[in-house]
Amino acid sequence: MLIKEIAAALNAPFVGDGELNIERVANLKTAQAGEISFLSDVKYRAVLDDSQASCVMIKPEYQEHVKGAAILVPDPYLAFARVAQMLDTTPKIAEGIDPSAVVHPSAKLGANVALGPNVVIGPEVELGDDVQIGANCVLGPKAKLGAGTKLYPLVSIYHDCVIGAHCLIQSGTVIGGDGFGYANDKGTWVKIPQTGRVVIGDYVEIGANTCIDRGALDDTIIESNVIIDNLCQVAHNVKIGFGTAVAGGTTFAGSVTVGKYCIIGGTSVLNGHITIADQVTISGMCMVMRSITEPKSTYSSGIPAQTNAEWRKTASRVLHINDMYHRLQTLEKQVKQLQDAK
């Protein structure tokens, strides 16, 4: 794309030669001719001075620092994301319907559906227009995918699950597996059939090897515009609200309800049957055992990395916390007795 075409697509003014051709996005430090980058913080001006990028997306107030062409935008990082989409060269997941794909006669396929090798489409499955399904994916009976949704290879969608439009699901993810529901009969586990579904909204992205379990009775629900990273576990009857972001390795126990626009850091663990308010931020490696009722609050836990010597001292002291607590109680009582005696 020409610089002037990119600027028009962003509805932003530009300076410099708008006829220069841009082939790809790049890091500001390593960018070369024919590439576009961005600067969102003027403290990296030194990098900008040395950059060979043909064009830089930058805030209007920093325009004077640019030697060549620039597109003037209020949020350079967001503009960078938009341009990366425009110049994206990621190949299609599938094109056409591969002869090895197995499609049940009762399935309904929209226009321009693409199925890769060895895809299995079960009975009464419904696929919207422009759906792309990669090699070796399996869709169980009555599963539904909305228009424009893409599944990378080796995704499994169990029966009755519903996925909205323009979703993207990475390889190895399993949606609709059984929730972890059992009763105990004198030491013997008795399985409880999981008869709910997984219902996913529009524009949801799910990373590789993530598992989202179907509901026990009611549905597991992922609302629209949610992004979930790799290797996450979403247990039965969890509800994740609109616009929430979940980083890699996070585990949700059963029946957690997460509000809208939350940010959950990687490898966090959320206890079952709790509620998280809207716009809550949870730092990485948090263990959330109780509901968080205050919107827009931030929570952290875990122990930051220390040298081994420091950690050994900390761990040793933690083992004596209970003793120290009782000694402190005793001292407080003695101090109070002395004060009362006066």
Catalytic residue among 236, 273, 320, 326, which?
236
Instruction: Please give the Cα distance from 21 to 3 (Å, whole number).
Output: 6
| Residue (of 86, 101, 207) closest to 152 by Cα position | 207
Would strands 251-252 and 156-157 be described as parallel, antiparallel, or unpaired? unpaired
Instruction: Please give the Cα distance from 51 to 67 (Å, whole number).
Output: 10
Q: Is the dihedral of CA 68, 71, 75, 77 positive or negative?
A: negative
How large is the angle between the packed helices 3-10 and 76-86, nearest 10 degrees? 120
Q: Are 196 and 178 in contact (CB under 8 A)?
A: no
Residue 236 falls in the annotated catalytic set: yes
Q: Which residues pair with 282 in a beta bridge?
A: 264, 299
Question: Measuring CA to CA, how many Å separate 145 from each of 98, 109, 220?
Answer: 19, 10, 16
Catalytic residues: 236
